[in-house]
Structure 1
Amino acid sequence: MTRRSAAVLLLAITLAGPLPGCASGPSPDLYQAFGGQPGLVSLVDDLMDGMMRDPDLHPYFVNANRPHIKAELVAQFCATLGGPCEYQGMDMRMAHARYGIGDHEFNALVRALQNAMDGHHIPYAAQNRFLAMLAPYRDDVVHPAPPPRARPPLVIAPDAVAVPETVPTEGLGNKPSGT
């Protein structure tokens, strides 16, 4: 199964709701599958590195306060997974509204997260549970930029401005020639 097929299947499962007998929410076991706090710090470091290498995501982070973003992501991931953290940052809609993030960028971020989780050898079942918990944030993160405002062309009547043929130099602080 390709990653795209897996993502579509994951989305379908997420929309259908939890399956009977499947743990879908946060739990200390899920938090530990990610390596606890040290594992999350390392995962988010690798995630940020991946986002900085991705040409679609790089512009969003190049001038950002990356240490602050990483700390916020660690806290959010920790709380989401069932760890002992409490996320106290901005809500996702407010934090992302001004950036014009579309589906393309959101999908690139999910790929970067999947690559980071793969690099940390996080079991696929744990990855899928985590992605399912993050899926509801999509609508808060994706806000395509509004189209630029159209401005009417500036029209100046030809006789609105009188332009002298020569510019006087007397009285403008210039010394008259010959002194």
Structure 2
Amino acid sequence: MPSLRPLLITLLVSILLAGCAQQRQGSLYQQLGGDAGISAIVEDFTLRLADDPEIVGFFANTNIDLFVASLEQQLCETSDGPCRYDGPPMDRAHQHMGLTDAHFNAVVGHMQQALIDQGIPPGPRNQLLGRLARLHGDIMRRQ
């Protein structure tokens, strides 16, 4: 029976090297480009929402400047940046909007494309989208 020792050593070295690579890359916030990168992502994303006839109506009575600032703050905090999101909880912010899964998926698609177009590599892009996906239950909660 072959020894598992070489396999375990290889696995341990791989884990350590992956940890070192993550440290060199910095936090997700840094990988997104810090404040400037997040601002560019949010601007791109917001323009995409404005161009989507199925989504733009949800923002008819929204203070867009406040929305942009709040989203920047939320992405900064979500990506382990120095910000603290102080906007309303996601369930309260979306409770009377009547969102469907199609709306939610369209918004996710717009965020994904904004990240791609802003040059965010697949690793950090998927990491951010994964963190944002955790909000699905609160956003889609019916009250």
TM-score calculated relative to the size of structure 1: 0.64
| 3-state SS of 2:65 partner | helix
Deviations 1:91-149 (A, max 9, x none): 101111011111010000000001100110100111111111111100111246x9xxx
Alignment gaps of 5+ in structure 2: 1-14, 20-24
Select which of 33, 44, 65 maps to 1:46.
44
Q: Could you say which residue in structure 2 is the equivalent of 1:75?
A: 73
Distance in 2, Cα, partners of 1:102 & 1:28: 36
Distance in 2, Cα, partners of 1:137 & 1:29: 21
Q: Could you say which residue in structure 2 is the equivalent of 1:169?
A: none
**Aligned residue pair count:** 122
Q: Could you say which residue in structure 2 is the equivalent of 1:125?
A: 123
Alignment gaps of 5+ in structure 1: 1-20, 147-179
Q: Which has the larger radius of gyration?
A: 1
Q: Could you say which residue in structure 1 is the equivalent of 2:59?
A: 61
Q: Which amino acid counterpart does residue 42 of structure 2 have in structure 1?
A: V
Q: Which structure shows the bigger proportion of residues in helix conformation?
A: 2
CA contact (8 A) 1:102 1:142 kept: yes
CA contact (8 A) 1:41 1:74 kept: yes
Deviations 1:44-68 (A, max 9, x none): 0110100011111111113311110
| 3-state SS of 1:98 partner | coil
Distance in 2, Cα, partners of 1:119 & 1:136: 23
Shift >2 Å, 4+ stretches: none
- Residue 30 of structure 1, CA deviation: 1.0
Q: How well do the aligned residues superpose, as a CA RMSD in angstroms?
A: 1.9
Distance in 1, Cα, partners of 2:66 & 2:137: 23
CA contact (8 A) 1:75 1:87 kept: yes
